[in-house]
Amino acid sequence: MTELTEKAIRDAFPDAIIETATDMDGVLNIKIDPGAIVPVCETLRSLGFDYLADLFATDRQDRIEVVYRLTALERNEKLVLRIYLDRDKPEVDSVTSVWKGANFLEREAYDLLGVVFKGHPDLRRILLPEDWEGHPLRKDYVIPD
Amino acid sequence: MSSRIRTELIEINMGPQHPSTHGVLRLVLTLDGEVVVDCKPDLGYLHRGIEKLAEMRTYVQFIPVTDRLDYLSSMLQNAAYVGALEKLGQIEVPDRAEWIRMIVMELQRIASHLIFYGSMGLDLGATTPFLYGMREREDIIDLFEMLCGARLTYNYFRPGGVSRDLPGGFYSKAKAYIAKQRERLKEYDDLLTNNQIFIGRMRGVGVISAEEAVNWSLSGPSLRASGVAYDVRKADPYSFYEKVNWQVITRNEGDSYARYLCRMDEIRQSLSIIEQALDMIPEGELKCKTPQRLKLPEGEVYHHIESSRGDLGVYIASDGSDKPYRLRWRAPSFVNLGALGRIVKGWKVADVVAILGSIDVVLGEVDR
């Protein structure tokens, strides 16, 4: 199944795929060009990846990494999408148009790491107060007294 | 001359101090008369920055912190976190420890569902179910107290095993509890499940279709009540769930009553799992040897389990030290709450209480 998915994505987006790998669970990990996130997700959804299991970001100091964990529930196949964003201007299109469940998850990544999801219907802080300064899960965040 | 009465939308706060919000949750409701036009959950009142705290603690020091996420399912929080450590560190767990883990995880699921049963009744104005649910939950808490001394925050799992063996008398007490609980479930049904007032408030209320439930990333009983048979215990088996007989409970209605019934039937499945496990548990070690200061290899891991509320995922990025570089907690309640706004739209204010109750969120893990 995984090979079919990889081939379908490679055929549809020959230029958007930067790297593919298989992780310790045998799940296909695809690193893609952030600019192609929405069309890639739309295609994946039409390939059966109907469930966005998780979406989160990590500050890797030279970049912000956003991970999308997808599942095709019907055939129990998993897939991980990964994008690298510029740490000084982490912006990417929102996938809320593909999976509604992305709404809260993107707001959380915005709140804690400052990733801006363009086209999100309601991009506000979610866990921290609205007047909070900074994004605590950034590695250079200074914890206030 | 127009006889139309001018009406306007009104915005009201439900919570953060409100008996039915199950903790400190504020819902900003926009109402047209009694009908909900929009609902925006406002979270974070309990935010403790637990993912950030994790970066400042060693792997083992963080185990007791996990107890404080979904504090009604502490054993399951332990399990998800320790499972992630073991996966990345390739730590083996002795069979006896793994069986004990499965027993406590299922006991914990029942304890959590019993609170759900009680609070669901309470939300809709019935006080007795809460007393019933708490009464049987007490037996489980007693078993956990025998096991590890704590009644709520257990800190029981360890990388490579569990902290203590089953004490003398645990087996017979657990067996007695299972028999008692089965009898009491009939009482529960008489009191609440078949109660016409309760059914009237729950059936057909807050319906979400399978397709939408999936699109909104719902998980746990709230997803399975819409007819989607997704349970991490089957989809991505861990522990010994493949060695016992049990079924994934689903219903097709997708309403509040179906979400309630799913949980009640899951209690029965969990009882059966525990019963089988108690008889299959072998003698043996409780914990494999791990270094006092556990370091994990550089890399990343994602481990998820089926908690009482749904798909509980833990992501750890390791830089090779004794602390996580990044820890991510995918809390099922948080994601499920994201769909609340969609589900309550078009229903009356009073139904919001029923629908929120039926999704069964715990704010400790929503806010983290």
Site from A56, A67, A78, A143 to mutate, B interface, most B CB atoms within 10 angstroms: A56
B342 contacts in chain A (CB < 8 Å): 100
Provide the pLDDT for residue B234: 92
Residue type, A106: E
Position B53 pLDDT exceeds 90: yes
Residue B253 lies in a domain: yes
Residue A128 lies in a domain: no
Residue numbers of the domain that contains B271: 51-367
B339 contacts in chain A (CB < 8 Å): 100-101
B311 contacts in chain A (CB < 8 Å): 53
Q: Does B368 touch chain A (CB under 8 A)?
A: yes
Position B3 pLDDT exceeds 90: no
State the total domains in chain B.
1
Position B144 pLDDT exceeds 60: yes
Position B149 pLDDT exceeds 70: yes
First to last CA, chain A: 52
Residue B152 lies in a domain: yes
**Site of tokens 């609170």:** B115
Evaluate whether B306 touches B231 at the Cβ level (below 8 Å).
yes
Q: Which residues contact B174 (CB under 8 A, 6 or more apart)?
A: B103, B107, B143, B274, B278
Beta-strand pair B299-307/B26-32: unpaired
> Which of B238, B221, B241 has its CA nearest to residue B229?
B221
Helix or strand run (H / E) with residue B317: strand B310-318
Region B22-46: what's the mean pLDDT?
Answer: 90
At residue B24 the predicted structure's pLDDT band, cuts being 50, 70 and 90, is: confident
Residue B269 lies in a domain: yes
Provide the pLDDT for residue B257: 95
Region A66-71: what's the mean pLDDT?
Answer: 95
Domain holding B189: CATH number?
A: 1.10.645.10
Evaluate whether A80 touches A70 at the Cβ level (below 8 Å).
yes
Position B255 pLDDT exceeds 60: yes
Q: Using the 8-state DSSP alphabet, how is residue B219 labeled?
A: -
Residue B26 lies in a domain: no
Provide the pLDDT for residue B344: 93
Is A53 within 8 Å of B313 when comparing Cβ atoms? yes
Whole-Å CA distances, A131 to A127, A135, B53: 12, 12, 21
Provide the pLDDT for residue B325: 95
Evaluate whether B324 touches B55 at the Cβ level (below 8 Å).
yes
Q: At what angle do helices A37-46 and A2-12 cross, to 10 degrees?
A: 140
Whole-Å CA distances, B346 to A128, B30, B31, B94, B260: 29, 11, 9, 52, 21
Provide the pLDDT for residue B366: 92
Position A104 pLDDT exceeds 60: yes
Chain A residue whose CA is closest to B336: A101
Position B83 pLDDT exceeds 80: yes
Position A1 pLDDT exceeds 70: no
Q: Does A106 touch chain B (CB under 8 A)?
A: no
What six digits make up the tokens of B94?
Answer: 């002795």
Region B208-231: what's the mean pLDDT?
Answer: 94
State the total domains in chain A.
1
Residue numbers of the domain that contains A9: 2-118
Position B354 pLDDT exceeds 60: yes
Helix or strand run (H / E) with residue B326: strand B324-330
Evaluate whether B91 touches B290 at the Cβ level (below 8 Å).
yes
At residue B319 the predicted structure's pLDDT band, cuts being 50, 70 and 90, is: very high
Position A70 pLDDT exceeds 60: yes
Nearest chain A CA: its distance from B248 CA (Å) = 14
Region A36-62: what's the mean pLDDT?
Answer: 93
Three-state secondary-structure class, residue B235: helix
Cα gap B268→B272, rounded to integer Å = 6
Average per-residue pLDDT for chain B: 92
Provide the pLDDT for residue B240: 93
Region A119-142: what's the mean pLDDT?
Answer: 92
Nearest to A53 among B49, B311, B317 (CB): B311
> Which of B138, B154, B167 has its CA nearest to residue B286?
B167
Evaluate whether B336 touches B220 at the Cβ level (below 8 Å).
yes
Region B290-307: what's the mean pLDDT?
Answer: 91
Report the length, in residues, of chain A: 145
Domain holding A20: CATH number?
A: 3.30.460.80
Residue B28 lies in a domain: no
Cα gap B324→B57, rounded to integer Å = 8
Is B313 within 8 Å of A103 when comparing Cβ atoms? no
Chain B residue whose CA is closest to A143: B52
For chain B, the 3-state helix, strand and coil shares in percent, each to the nearest 5, are 50, 15, 40
Nearest chain B CA: its distance from A73 CA (Å) = 7
Cα gap B219→B189, rounded to integer Å = 25
Region B259-265: what's the mean pLDDT?
Answer: 95
Position B2 pLDDT exceeds 70: no
Query: Over the stretch A6-31, which tens digit does the pLDDT of each residue have?
Result: 888 888 888 888 888 888 888 999 99
Position B289 pLDDT exceeds 90: no
Q: Does A12 touch chain B (CB under 8 A)?
A: no
Position B19 pLDDT exceeds 80: no
Q: What are phi and psi of B12, to 5 degrees?
A: -130, 155
Residue B5 lies in a domain: no
Is A101 within 8 Å of B216 when comparing Cβ atoms? yes
